Amino acid sequence: MTDITEEEIESTFQRLTADAKRSGYNLNPDEEFTKELVESLLINGKRYGYWACPCRLADEVKEEDLDLICPCDYRDVDVEEFGACYCALYVDKEIASGEKEAKPIPDRRPEREERAQFKASSGKGVVQTELAYPVWRCRVCGYLCAREEPPGICPVCKAGKERFDRFM
């Protein structure tokens, strides 16, 4: 059903593993499971043009799907609370070391209407103070930086520029 090659899966898997390690994240240690997810991400990359979360139904409109481009906005809280992200691609230390197994968890992504409300209100409570630079926050991992514009990609989690909000 797909034209994704073994080599693509392998090289993406290696890259994600290295990126995760470098930034303090862990991929699911079940390599077969993880590679299936990597293949799914590559499939979504080909059919939608971005890595929509494999376990959620994409809208196919990037604007609407920004929060679920992998790594999604919900990864860190889910790893924190349940030990794994919704797809179980990213896991906590206990699961990574094999002490525990990844289990399916509930989806915390808000419904479309709630998302729209949240979007409309985000950035509103920002107190504008006299800063030399605006401060930007990555919605995926919380990385903060003070500069004229957000970075092209987040140096910690590799999320794109469009996933930053003005924080201060």
* Contact pick of 38, 72, 141, 159 for ligand SF4 (by CB under 6 A): 72
Count of residues in contact with other proteins, rule CB under 8 A: 20
Nearest CA among 5, 134, 127, 115 for reference residue 61: 115
83-122 in b/e form (b: 16+ CB < 10 A) is bbbbbbbbbbeebbeeeeebeebeeebeeeeeeeeeeeee
Residue 40 binds what, of ligand SF4, other proteins, none (CB under 5 to 8 Å, by partner type)?
Answer: other proteins
Q: How far is the CB of 2 from other proteins (least distance, A)?
A: 9
- Scan residues 1-40 and list those touching other proteins (CB under 8 A): 1, 33, 36-37, 40
Residue 72 binds what, of ligand SF4, other proteins, none (CB under 5 to 8 Å, by partner type)?
Answer: ligand SF4
* Cis peptide upstream of residue 71 (ω within 30 degrees of 0): yes
Count the Cβ atoms, other than its own, within 10 Å of residue 80.
Answer: 9
d(CA 124, CA 166): 9
- Scan residues 134-153 and list those touching other proteins (CB under 8 A): none
- List the beta bridge partners of residue 138: 164
Residue 71 binds what, of ligand SF4, other proteins, none (CB under 5 to 8 Å, by partner type)?
Answer: ligand SF4
Told to check if 159 binds ligand SF4 by CB under 6 A, we report: no
Q: Diameter of the chain by CA atoms?
A: 55
- Scan residues 40-69 and list those touching ligand SF4 (CB under 6 A): 53, 55, 68
Tokens at 17, concatenated: 């593993």
Told to check if 86 binds ligand SF4 by CB under 6 A, we report: yes
Residues at the interface with other proteins (CB under 8 A): 1, 33, 36-37, 40, 43-44, 54-58, 60, 87-88, 104-107, 111
